[in-house]
Amino acid sequence: MKKILLVFAFALVGHVLHAQKIIKNPEFSATTATNVKIKKIELYDTITKIDFEVKYYPK
């Protein structure tokens, strides 16, 4: 019984860890917008969320 419970616990933890992933400060090779920087990408089962940093210098 303990073995089955242990296997179930590992499967549950593995599923939770797989369900979400956060990438901070991703690298990229080229851009056309020098005032926009991607800070974080969050991957979930149902959505992908991207956080940007935008610098605006009014003239």
* Cα(50)–Cα(59) distance, integer angstroms: 28
Express each pLDDT in 5-15 by its tens digit: 766 666 665 55
On whether the CB atoms of residues 42 and 24 are closer than 8 A, the answer is no
HSE-CB for 21 with a 13 A CA cutoff: 9
Query: What is the pLDDT at residue 20?
Result: 65
Predicted TM-score of the model (pTM): 0.57
* Cα(20)–Cα(7) distance, integer angstroms: 21
Query: What is the pLDDT at residue 39?
Result: 92
Indicate the pLDDT class of residue 21, thresholds 50, 70 and 90: confident
Tokens 């009014």 -> residue:
58
Express each pLDDT in 23-56 by its tens digit: 888 887 888 888 888 899 998 888 899 999 999 8
Amino acid at the residue 33: A
